[in-house]
């Protein structure tokens, strides 16, 4: 995986972004709502489907110019994680959750980038 850091003084910085960011990231990566009766099944099936983005070291962005400029990581699109399974496997696991809990679906969801090619 290429390390895309856009220049000499760019350095990733980890920070806590809050509960709403964590919920949004859960939904963006898994394609199911972060809260509800489906959560136990979703966590069982969808655990360990992602790994830390090597480019931004899991931070989702780079800060340059002494932290004054923030650049979104082009590899993980600011999520800090990428899939370690194929998109086909992800969709099959997600569908198992939705078969049991149709209301858990996130409308218009599309998976992000995978380490594996289809």
In this structure, what token pair is assigned to residue 94?
């997600």
Q: How confident is the model at residue 104 (pLDDT cuts 50, 70, 90)?
A: very high
Least confident of 35-39, 45-49, 71-75, 109-113: 109-113
pLDDT of residue 42: 96
Spatial contact of 84 and 50, defined as CB atoms under 8 Å apart:
yes
Confidence check: pLDDT of 36 > 50: yes
Res. 18: pLDDT tops 80: yes
Please give the model's pTM, rounded to 2 decimal places.
Answer: 0.72
pLDDT at 3: 47
Predicted local confidence at residue 118, as pLDDT? 46
pLDDT at 5: 47
pLDDT at 32: 95
Q: In whole numbers, what is the pLDDT of the chain averaged over residues?
A: 82
8, pLDDT greater than 80: no
103 three-state secondary structure: helix
Q: Where are the beta strands (DSSP E) in the chain?
A: 50-52, 61-64, 69-72, 81-83
pLDDT of residue 113: 63
């Amino acid at each position: 995986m290429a390390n895309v850091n856009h220049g000499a003084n760019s350095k990733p910085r980890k920070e806590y972004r809050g509960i709403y960011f964590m919920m949004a990231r859960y939904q963006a990566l898994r394609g199911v709502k972060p809260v509800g009766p489906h959560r136990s099944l979703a966590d069982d099936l969808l655990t360990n489907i992602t790994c830390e983005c090597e480019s931004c070291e899991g931070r989702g962005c780079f800060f340059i110019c002494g932290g004054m400029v923030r650049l979104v990581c082009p590899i993980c699109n600011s999520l800090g994680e990428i899939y370690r399974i194929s998109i086909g496997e992800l969709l099959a696991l997600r569908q198992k959750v939705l078969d049991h809990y149709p209301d858990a679906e996130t409308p218009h969801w599309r998976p992000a980038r995978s380490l594996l090619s289809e």
